[in-house]
Structure 1
Amino acid sequence: MFSLSSWKHLRIPFSFYLLPVFIFALAFTPNHNPERMVLVFITLHLFLYPSSNGYNSYFDKDEGSIGGLKNPPKVKKNLYFLSLIFFLASIILAACINISFAGMVIVYGLVSMAYSHPSIRLKKMPYISWVVAGFFQGCFTFCMAYAGLSDFGFEVLGKSHVFIPGLLTSIMLWGSYPLTQVYQHEEDSRRGDQTLSLKLGIKGTFLFSSIWFLFAGLAFAWFFVDKNQDWAFYGFLAAMLPVILYFYVWFWFIRKDENKYANYTWAMWMNRISATALNIFFFWYFLENTQILQVI
């Protein structure tokens, strides 16, 4: 019924890059329940995020490389319906935990639709889209995962012990997000979109991201030290070391020839290294912060 190309546009493996936020939320969850853990993971990573990917791909109709697909197949009409089915499935699964969690899933889905839908298309608004994407993929997702994992609802957005670590993830995403756009300038320009990276230029994007990475490092340092978790701060620095090294090596090549090195391959390796490093760190932090191994 649905073409292979449409399934490819869901980019389910790409959810790996959003996994650090889920694991970080897991580290603060007070009510660990294996069934909820599995259900929230499936809801977000196997249905909600792929739904968003497919929906945005349908309206973008990219011909060049996109996140997770170096050579995306031509978009077909059934991709639109497949993405909506996945969105509906994510809502139903979320409702199995509670209605408020399902409501948060709906909010996330609608905001992601607004990113590419022609009637709103946040992608044409460089600064607004940057703020919205960073907030909802970071802080809101953290709070949403926390709510689902803990069987809570929207009230977690007003809890400082949830909102603050969630905001840390947004700060990091506000630094990395423009880097995912550096190889799409030509296609974005042709389509009339004004991404932040396009607005800043390629070298400007790297300078902008370096400032936000520094800010993110200071924010995480304050957070861990304030919690008397110096061990976590040093672990975070160790995890970020390969990411920062790769970033500056890439930047060095960009300064030599931005047209040659601002490409899909370099950007995807940046994503792979940062996601892998943060997944490892946050999983270790989850084990240490919850002392779950001692309970088991």
Structure 2
Amino acid sequence: MPVYLFALSQVVRPDVGRALLIFFIIHVLIYPSSNGFNSYMDRDDGSVGGLKSPLPPTRQLLYVTLAMDAAAILLGLFISIFFSMAAILYIAASRAYSARSVRLKKYPLAGYFTVVICQGALIFFMVYHGAHPRLTLRVPTLGMISASLLIGGFYPLTQVYQHAADAKDGVRTISSKLGIRGTFIYSGILYGIAYTVLGFYLLISLEIKEFLLLTTCMLPVLVYFTVWAVQVWRNPLRADFGHTMRMNAIASCCTSIGFILVFMMQYL
């Protein structure tokens, strides 16, 4: 949601109909399909993603994900051929990330950059291009970089409690390579870089008020991350499912609210 709202907030007078269709394609079809396919391949029996006790995946789940992929690609054609091609690229990368025959997620850097680029830059491109009144292909480079950096800073935190389950499945994540404390250090540094780039992008776009507003909305995220990091430093067991989900909820809500307000400011 935050990357979608970020990209949409940067489009001047977006096409409302296409923006709603893009939301449906990405958040109702592509994301759930990718998560479902990943769950089918992983066959998780412990806490993973946003689920503490996931249900055992069935063969029917695979068929549903394939149908959702096809629907996303076909609906994407109503936006543009470029949007549909980007959707195909995202789906292909997602499958390569999870599929047992390729399993990019087994490799710390390959898996990490697949997620960062696809969920960051590629989604930003799809939303900005698709919602733009003229379907422009001149998508802001700094916007795509900012989106990828924000994903890159947050994603390792979602893996911090899964080290044992990942190791059992032969998966080496960027978080497991960094270690629990290293993950927090890395995420903190990358968050700082991401916000610096984002701030520079907004300032050169003369969106000074928008930057200050977004900064205010992000303060709860900074506070929770700092408090949690201190707790984990004293007791690594604090890097658990519950704290991770709270971090996810706070970051998603605050960032989404910030970008919604930035979007609304162009109409004030």
TM tier relative to shorter chain: over 0.9
Q: Quick one: structure 1 residues 181 and 45, their matched pair in 2 at CA, closer, same or farther if it must change by over 3 Å?
A: same
Matched residues in 1 for 2:17 and 2:76: separation?
12
For the 8 Å contact 1:143–1:163, the answer to whether it is kept is: no
The AA in structure 2 aligned to 1:271 is: N
Matched residues in 1 for 2:131 and 2:27: separation?
14
- Ranges in structure 1 where 5+ consecutive residues have no aligned partner: 1-18
Cα RMSD (Å): 1.5
- TM-score normalised to structure 2 length: 0.95
Q: Which runs of 4+ in 1 moved over 6 A?
A: none
1:30-69 matches, within 5 Å, as 30=12, 32-69=14-51
1:121-200 matches, within 5 Å, as 121-150=103-132, 156=137, 159=138, 161-200=139-178
Q: Quick one: structure 1 residues 101 and 167, their matched pair in 2 at CA, closer, same or farther if it must change by over 3 Å?
A: same
Q: Does 1:225 align with 2:200?
A: no
Matched residues in 1 for 2:189 and 2:181: separation?
13
Paired residue total = 268
Percent of matched pairs sharing the same residue: 36
| Partner deviation per Cα, 1:237-277 (whole Å, 9 max, x = no partner) | 2122111111111111111211x211111111111101101
Matched residues in 2 for 1:222 and 1:164: separation?
9
Matched residues in 2 for 1:128 and 1:152: separation?
34
Match of 1:285 among 258, 262, 267: 262
Secondary structure at the aligned position of 2:100 is classed as coil
Q: How far has the Cα of 1:149 moved from its partner? A: 1.5
For the 8 Å contact 1:203–1:255, the answer to whether it is kept is: yes
For the 8 Å contact 1:101–1:152, the answer to whether it is kept is: no
Matched residues in 2 for 1:152 and 1:140: separation?
19
Match of 2:7 among 16, 21, 25: 25
Q: Quick one: structure 1 residues 224 and 33, their matched pair in 2 at CA, closer, same or farther if it must change by over 3 Å?
A: closer
For the 8 Å contact 1:64–1:187, the answer to whether it is kept is: yes
Match of 1:263 among 228, 240, 261: 240
- Ranges in structure 2 where 5+ consecutive residues have no aligned partner: none
